[in-house]
Amino acid sequence: MPRLPFDKSSVASIPASPGVYVFLDDRGKPVYVGKAVDLRSRVRSYFGAGDARLVSALIQEKAHALDFIVTGSAKEALILENSLIKKHGPLLNIRLKDDATYFSLRLDLKEPWPRLTIVRKRKKEDVLYFGPYPSAHACRKTIQFLNRVFPMRTCPDSQLYNRSRPCISYEIGQCNAPCVGLVERTRYLKVVDRVVRFLSGRDQEVLKELEKDMLVAAERLEFERAADLRDRLQHMRTTLQSPQVARRGGPDRDIIGLADVGDEVALCVLHVRDGQLAASAQYTFKRWMESDELLASFLGQFYGPERQPPAEILMPRECADLELHREILEQAREAGVALRVPERGEGLRLLKLAERNAELGHRRTKEEDERAQDSLHALQARLDLFQFPERMECFDISHLGGEQVVGSRVSFLAGRPDKDHYRHYRLREVQRNDDFAAMEEVLRRRLKRGVKEDDLPELIVIDGGRAQLARVVGVLRVLEIATVDVVGLAKARSVTRARTTEQAHERVYLPDREVPIVLEKDAPETLLLQRLRDEAHRFAITYSRRLRGKEKIGTVLEMVPGIGHRKARALLEHFGSLSGVKAATAAQLAEADGITLALADAVLAFFREHADG
């Protein structure tokens, strides 16, 4: 991009073409990104007297240079604008801190024993996708319901091919145990077919089939099976008759509500799926731009290939470039999307509900912010910290039996999780079970980069006592960092008195203090540190287990004669997953590094054998 001074004389160098313009501060960092059908005219407007918007005044104050990119059309400019905002997070654009994607349920009917899995991204492949769902929790609840009615497996392939007896899901009637051959494949696929039809909206059809099966079982005097089908039918009817936010069978909808609150704008998105409120999302923005401009920017950032829009989006008002937004959303969904401003009826009722939730959500967020600030001030005073702990980072080491040693870093900003700054560390120098050396390596890598990028926290919390703290203090001294507070948080120990067990108080170790500080159990600063430590532990152990799970998938392939660890890894890297390996032909398998046609035939024979079992 050409870089020009931020003044009126630069306008003549800008073409009258569609594109994106970027205003930069004195360090070259973008402070605002915009798009225009006519770049020259749009940028010129920022130097005129007629633009009274607050965002324009802030741009005049902070911008020192400008760049621009010419695009082939207004649609390309809109897509590029959203992409640059997501990439750079400019100060004066609206920024969505929660960039979580929608989720879908994936079902591959080519698998020997298909199962529903939760995925973030829909790939162009020959499988079925259901959704979108606004959260993984909503997906899991759907699978839990389905398993109570339709006994399908939920276990991964690594368990399917390694079990010798059924799991607890079989015992409670939520799986028919294909892992040990207790169900014929044709009967299993009949269950899968009913799941597909139910998720496709043909629930009444499936209900009638289950009723018929129940009556047939009763006529044959198979009373246990009839009773089981009766219970499944009752659970299905109860779910289908549960209270609805909107009419059942209507389109999946997102409802966007806006509420003006002082110098801020609160926004709430209600996700309605099959008539029920599945989830909601809350956002708060500074009132730097008009509501229609904010709404247009929100649409561009909130939806996309990784967060597919529903069939209908209800909005409080129309926004700029509405048709362009609709075209982009339909391209992401690969189907029609209705952008509608309701004026009456059910749509208006839902919109009022979203606006009310936006107001209540903003009030709740402000109250939580105040409590978080009080906790941070109390923490600074209790530990006599050098700085106010605006950003806190906690580090933890996790391993499984001395293997898969990994480190984690979680970050809290203003007392809340800041997941953009979460990191995993696979150790490079420490290959053994040595928590002290592992912590030292992780902190050294983090702090070296922080010094280089001028990105250091105010407080570092170590999950450990005096010994772990000493290693970290040594790293700080070597790197000559004197502005970061560091403390060690020792877990509360169980104390048994008079046959009752109770938790002792948390202890905090400081670098220049012999005796640890004992925190009150329910004090706000104690609860804050516990949340930080527990989140670091969860983040580390989840990563360690995920790495372990990848190894287990490799061991399934290693059961094939002639396939060792290296060839199993080559197959997984080439095809991306065990499902990809199973779906490949012999010729495709032989394309993987080290795999001959003979080995490819052995792999296919292995999976055919287990599919028949």
The whole-number pLDDT of residue 503 equals 60
CA 458 from chain center: how many Å?
27
| % of the chain residues with pLDDT over 90 | 22
Asked if 83 and 316 count as a contact pair (C-beta separation under 8 A), the reply is no
The whole-number pLDDT of residue 388 equals 95
**DSSP-derived 3-state class of residue 100:** coil
C-alpha–C-alpha distance, residues 164 and 200, integer Å? 35
The whole-number pLDDT of residue 2 equals 59
* Four-point Cα dihedral 53, 55, 61, 65, nearest 10: -120
C-alpha–C-alpha distance, residues 310 and 313, integer Å? 7
Asked if 154 and 105 count as a contact pair (C-beta separation under 8 A), the reply is no
Triad 72, 74, 78: Cα angle to 5°: 110
The residue written with tokens 């839990």 in the block is: 144
Confidence of residue 290 (pLDDT cuts 50, 70, 90): confident
Q: Which region holds residue 38: left if phi is over 0, alpha if psi is between -120 and 50, else beta?
A: beta
The whole-number pLDDT of residue 598 equals 85
pLDDT of 55 > 90? The answer is: no
User: Phi, psi at residue 3, to the nearest 5°?
Assistant: -110, 130
C-alpha–C-alpha distance, residues 178 and 162, integer Å? 12
Q: Give per-residue pLDDT as tens, 578-594.
A: 777 888 888 888 888 88
C-alpha–C-alpha distance, residues 336 and 458, integer Å? 49
The whole-number pLDDT of residue 495 equals 56
CA-to-CA dists, residue 65 to 10, 13, 36, 420, 559, angstroms: 10, 13, 18, 28, 62
DSSP 307: B
Mean local confidence (pLDDT), 82-109: 79
Q: Give per-residue pLDDT as tens, 464-504.
A: 888 888 888 999 999 999 889 999 988 766 555 555 555 66
Query: Which segment, 214-218, 374-378, 403-407, 541-545, is predicted with the most confidence on average?
Result: 374-378
C-alpha–C-alpha distance, residues 570 and 558, integer Å? 12
C-alpha–C-alpha distance, residues 409 and 426, integer Å? 12
Asked if 215 and 191 count as a contact pair (C-beta separation under 8 A), the reply is no
Exposure b/e, 171-188, CB count within 10 A at least 16 = b? eeebbbbbbeeebeeeeb
Average pLDDT, the chain: 83
The residue written with tokens 């400008």 in the block is: 66
> Which pair of tokens denotes residue 414?
């203003």
pTM over 0.75: no
Residue 509 parent element (H or E): strand 507-509
C-alpha–C-alpha distance, residues 151 and 414, integer Å? 46
Q: Domains in the chain and their CATH numbers?
A: 3-88 (3.40.1440.10), 103-240 (no CATH), 253-363 (3.30.420.10), 391-546 (3.30.420.340), 558-612 (1.10.150.20)
Mean local confidence (pLDDT), 240-259: 70
Triad 190, 195, 200: Cα angle to 5°: 125
pLDDT of 547 > 80? The answer is: no
Q: Give per-residue pLDDT as tens, 196-220.
A: 888 877 777 778 887 888 888 888 8
Q: Which residues contact 218 (CB under 8 A, 6 or more apart)?
A: 226
Asked if 582 and 607 count as a contact pair (C-beta separation under 8 A), the reply is yes
Q: Which residues contact 331 (CB under 8 A, 6 or more apart)?
A: none
> Which pair of tokens denotes residue 43?
């940028």
**DSSP-derived 3-state class of residue 363:** helix
> Which pair of tokens denotes residue 136?
């993984």
Residue 285 parent element (H or E): strand 276-286
Q: Give per-residue pLDDT as tens, 357-382.
A: 999 989 998 998 999 999 999 999 99
Strand 391-400 to 507-509 pairing: unpaired
C-alpha–C-alpha distance, residues 420 and 391, integer Å? 13
